[in-house]
Amino acid sequence: MRDFKSIESKWQKIWDSCDDFHAVNMSKKPKYYLLVEFPYPSAQGLHVGHLRSYVALDIVARKRRMQGYNVLYPMGWDAFGLPTENYAIKNNIHPRTVTEQNVKQFKKQLKSVGISFDWKREINTTSSNYYKWTQWIFSKLFEKGLATKEETTVNWCSSCKCVLANEEVVGGQCERCGADVTQKKKKQWILKITKYAQRLIDDLKLVDFPDRVKTQQTNWIGRSEGAKISFPTNVGEDLTIFTTLPETIFGVSHIIVAPEHKFIDKFKDKIKNIDEVLEYRKKVSKVKKEERTDANKAKTGVKILGITAKNPVNGKEVPVFVSDYVLVDHGTGVVMAVPAHDQRDFDFVQKYKIEFISVMQENPETGKMEMINSDFLNGLDVISARKKIIEYVSEKKIGEKHVSYKLRDWIFARQRYWGEPIPIINCEKCGPVLEKNLPLILPDIENFKTSENGESPLCLTDWIHTKCPKCGRDALRETDTMPQWAGSSWYFLRYLDPENDECLASKESINYWMPVDWYNGGMEHTTLHLLYSRFWHKFLYDIGVVNTPEPYKKRTSHGMILGNNNEKMSKSRGNVVNPNDVVEEYGADVIRLYEMFMGDFEKSAPWSDESIKGCKRFLDKYWNLKDIVSDEPNIRENFVSDFNKTIKKVGNDIENLKFNTAIASMMDLIGKIKDSGQITREELKIFTILLNLFAPHVTSEIWETMGFEGNINFVEWPNYDESLISSEFKEIVVQINGKVRDTFLIDSDLDDEELIKKSKEQPKIKELIKNKQITKEICARNKLVNLVIN
RNA sequence: GCUGGUAUGGCGGAAUAGGUAGACGCAAGGGACUUAAAAUCCCUCGGUAGCGAUGCCGUAUCGGUUCAAGUCCGAUUACCAGCACCA
């Protein structure tokens, strides 16, 4: 019997005390840097979903070591964040204590599945020697003008008196107390990621990411070309609109300003119905952005009385409205409405009875859209009209071509305790000044609740009082902390040199290890973490800290593991699988194998308590191979060919994320070995190496028991003999009218003509084509013949 | 609503460039071993007609391209992930 418990704990102890998985900087071997998203150490403990990612790259890591690489496969903790803070508040424990407990639990769990992480490089975003460098990067961003304070809106719960994360707002109400959530204005730190928008799109060319990740990022950044055009008003200040369809300007029926737009405040004396407008603004502040722009939602708005605008191309006077489907932080916060060619504008005018005209029509002769009712644009196609109108407005200095991005700047401040302090001192005279003494330590406090005015609890401490480094006067520290994304935006650099106190990582270590060769993570991080970290890396590249414009050479994504009812695992659904229980019942090797076998790695797959048994049986069969080792070569037909095929397939499949079929081919081979009842020592050795990547414990035990030479962790990855793979005979499929009717074997390649001739000679085919007219004969890749008959 | 995906037996899933649909595993049924059970081993296993050889149908739905479609194209439906998104 395979006693997995004692085998696994034995090898885990050995790996813990040896340096096999420790990567050495500047080794002469070629480097290979494998990265998985480091976990947020939650109180729930490790999830089977974490393991899917970690085991997959553990397989690659073990393979690369056998292929002679110096492999870096590190692990750490992304430990700042809201859930820990909330847990701390609720249970009255310091978040640091909670974090320590959770990290301990996670680490124990990870070790129990035998993942070959380099534990000597463990990092933790909440330790001061780590966040010292997160703060340092912020300082550099501040120095370069990429970190500034700007007016933003936050979710505000007037009952809890605190700022809420989007996640904490459920159906427009506070998740905790159920009170209505409103939008409140607040000056906050933002990072100007939009300055990098174009490069973040362009440099996707440099990296090997799945297409779905690249398109998702490109669409998220959302480049659109259009024009800014100024509409003069009767109050002496222009309203500048942004449009992607400037050619439709002759069809403008009215102008819409976002309800929050400053223009309204500036000219409130001129607005006759200002009370109505402000009332509307108040109403809108309660509506979520997604709802505001929902195309199916009935359009609302208010006409601004007392202000009118003029269409700059034809001098026509147009009314001005406010409506919530125009967002203040998008484009210029003002749009021109063209109801004939925009559904939302059309819906709006239906309600407010505004007249409008069409400016495009299909030409009945050419079938193409062309301009009408548009003065000098008439008769032009859309593309030419766009070009011409942009030339026109530029010449008249009433507008210009403009590239707009959907990407918004990154709000980089949270009114929370459990995050990196922003190293800024607010001096009344000097404004915001950098704290030079890093790390700026997060002080220990006892009450983690936000204060009554919605500021971080840090504002209630003495810690905030300091002197301005510039002028020496009394000044206050910034009390907002960084968002949880900060630490994870550069962590892959800290692994290279985790103890360094002089810089975030030494130049040599960066030059040696970067870029990350293979980064695996979840699709859910495509547009936030993955983009943020690319942004930070590009910034570090610009200031000469790193040597590559992109941090990750290759990115892959794993699918989610669902509960056995095919739904997302969650406590409330009661379908959570605890890895501890599985390891206890079946062992680490089985859970590793099963998670890789359960389905296509890139797609989601439901957990099955039944299916996992197949993986246990497979390992039992493997364990028993040692009893049938023989000196005689296996005489089963095609055995050598099958064996070589398996070596090839396992190797290739791993590179292509096809772990499931790699395992299937090993299962297939073990069936063949068992059928023949024998295996040679050498064959068992090779099989053991292949399986070691997936099931390292049991294979290490067999390696030792059988007395195979060398350290299995560094044994040479087996080669296969291509000439032994192709079997002597090739099967040719014969179809008639696309349906398979017969097959036959050939022992050497034939040309198409001979193949067709031979196909027709097959007795069954001969019978079927008797007295029939053959109208077409197709021969494909020396593999298939198709005869088309009437 | 928007963006990106996904859809194949009872179930998880296989199927290099369009070329034998259902590899491998689970479950189920039958059998062997056993006093019995577990474990293990052997056989069957998409639907349908047939004793059988074999035929016909079948990859979410509808349509198209092709000698040939799970695979390519168009539309539809359902499900999953993300959302800051209309200009």
Give the strands of the sheet with A302-310, arranged side by side: A302-310, A317-322, A254-257, A334-337
Of all residues in chain A, the percent with pLDDT exceeding 90 is 50
Measure, in angstroms, how far nucleotide B38 C1' is from residue A588 CA. 23
Q: Where is average pLDDT lowest: A290-304, A509-523, A678-692, A746-760?
A: A290-304
Beta strands in A3-140 (DSSP E): 31-36, 70-72, 76-77, 123-124
pLDDT at A649: 95
Q: How confident is the model at residue A296 (pLDDT cuts 50, 70, 90)?
A: low
Q: For residue A634, what are the contacts with CB-CB under 8 A and spacing of at least 6?
A: A640, A673, A676, A678, A679, A680, A683
Q: Is the CB of A649 under 7 A from strand B?
A: no
> What pLDDT digit, counting tens, does each position of A703-752 carry?
999 999 999 999 999 998 887 777 667 788 888 888 888 887 777 777 77
Q: Residue A577 above 70 pLDDT?
A: yes
A378 against A14, higher pLDDT: A14
Instruction: Centre a 10 Å sphere on the Cβ of residue A307 and count the other Cβ atoms it contains.
Output: 21
Q: Is the ipTM of this complex over 0.90?
A: yes
Q: Would the Cβ of A293 be found within 7 angstroms of any atom in strand B?
A: yes
Indicate whether A341 pLDDT > 70.
Answer: yes
pLDDT of res. A710: 94
Quick one: pLDDT at residue A715? 96
pLDDT at A290 over 70: no
Residue nearest to nucleotide B4 (CA to C1'): A216
Closest nucleotide to A326 by C1' from CA: B86
- A596 vs A337, higher pLDDT: A596
Of A235, A218, A204, nearest in space to A309 by CA: A235
Would you call A648 helix, strand, or coil by DSSP? Answer: helix
Helix (H, G, I), strand (E, B) or coil at A309: strand
**CA neighbor of A679 nearest in space, from A634, A615, A713:** A634
With beta carbons less than 8 A apart as the criterion, state whether A407 and A221 touch: yes
The pLDDT value given to residue A192: 93
Interatomic CA–C1' length for residue A790 and nucleotide B22, angstroms? 31
Q: Which range in A93-102, A628-637, A673-682, A708-717 is most confidently predicted, on average pLDDT?
A: A708-717
Nucleotides of B under 7 A from a protein CB: 1-6, 11-15, 17, 19-21, 23-27, 39-42, 55-56, 67-69, 80-87
Could you tell me which of A335, A317, A314, A315 has the C-alpha nearest to residue A326? A335
Extended strands (E) in A478-628: 518-522, 555-558, 561-562, 605-606
For residue A178, what are the CA distances in angstroms to A159, A221, A578? 9, 34, 32
Instruction: Check pLDDT > 80 for residue A365.
Output: no
Residue with tokens 């490109």: A218
Average pLDDT value for chain A: 88
Residue A496: per-residue pLDDT: 96
Query: Cβ of A144 < 7 Å from strand B?
Result: no
> Sign (positive/negative) of CA torsion A594, A599, A600, A606?
negative
User: What is the Cα–Cα distance from A385 to A661, expressed in whole angstroms?
Assistant: 55
Predicted local distance difference test score (pLDDT) of residue A754: 80
pLDDT score, position A354: 82
Q: Torsion angle of alpha carbons A706, A707, A708, A709, nearest 10°?
A: 180
End-to-end CA separation in angstroms for chain A: 64
CB A436 within 8 A of CB A425: no
Model confidence band, residue A43 (pLDDT cutoffs 50, 70, 90): confident
| Strand B, CB < 7 A, residues 484-513 of A | none
Say if residue A7's pLDDT is above 90: yes
A447-482: pLDDT as tens digits: 776 666 777 777 777 888 889 888 889 899 998 899
Tens digits of per-residue pLDDT, A649-702?
999 999 999 999 999 999 999 999 988 888 999 999 999 999 999 999 999 999
pLDDT for A450:
65
Count of H-run helices and E-run strands, chain A: 26, 31
- Specify the range with the lowest mean pLDDT, choosing from A92-96, A273-277, A657-661, A738-742: A738-742
Q: For strand B, which residues in window 747-776 of chain A come within 7 Å by CB?
A: 776
- Mean pLDDT of the A497-514 span: 95
Q: Is the pLDDT of residue A126 over 90?
A: yes
Whether the pLDDT of residue A506 is over 90: the answer is: yes
